[in-house]
Structure 1
Amino acid sequence: MSSYTSEYPADDEFDPAYKAFFESFYETSDTPDAHERYSKQFTQDATLIMASKKVQGREEILSLRKGMWEKVNKRKHTAVKVFPFGPSSNEVMLYGIVEYVLKDGREASVDWAARANLVKEDGTVMMNFYQVYLDTAAQTPSK
Structure 2
Amino acid sequence: MTSYTSDYPSTDFDADFKKFFEEFYATSDTPDAHDKYADSFTEDATLIMASKKAKGRSEILALRKGLWEKVSGRLHKPLKVFPYGANADEVMLFGTVDYELKDGRKANVDWSAHAHLVKQEGKVKMDFYQVYLDSAAQNPSK
Q: TM-score range by the shorter chain?
A: over 0.9
Residue 4 of structure 2 corresponds to 4
User: Identity over the aligned pairs, expressed in percent?
Assistant: 65
Over 6 Å off, 4+ runs: none
Q: What TM-score do you get using the length of structure 2 for normalisation?
A: 0.98
SS in structure 1 of the partner of residue 110 of structure 2: strand
Residue 95 of structure 2 corresponds to 96
1:2 deviates by 5.9
The residue type equivalent to 1:3 in the other structure is S
The residue type equivalent to 1:49 in the other structure is I
Unmatched tracts of structure 1, length 5 or more: none
SS in structure 1 of the partner of residue 7 of structure 2: coil
Mapped to 1, the partners of 2:16 and 2:51 lie a distance apart of: 30
1:78 deviates by 0.6
Mapped to 1, the partners of 2:135 and 2:69 lie a distance apart of: 16
Listed one character per residue, the Cα deviations across residues 26-51 of structure 1 (whole Å, up to 9, x for unaligned) are: 00000000000000000000000001
Mapped to 2, the partners of 1:89 and 1:79 lie a distance apart of: 18
1:142 deviates by 1.3
Q: What TM-score do you get using the length of structure 1 for normalisation?
A: 0.97
Mapped to 1, the partners of 2:2 and 2:115 lie a distance apart of: 21
Mapped to 2, the partners of 1:77 and 1:49 lie a distance apart of: 17
Mapped to 1, the partners of 2:92 and 2:4 lie a distance apart of: 16
Residue 48 of structure 1 corresponds to 47
Residue 108 of structure 1 corresponds to 107
Mapped to 2, the partners of 1:130 and 1:3 lie a distance apart of: 21
Unmatched tracts of structure 2, length 5 or more: none
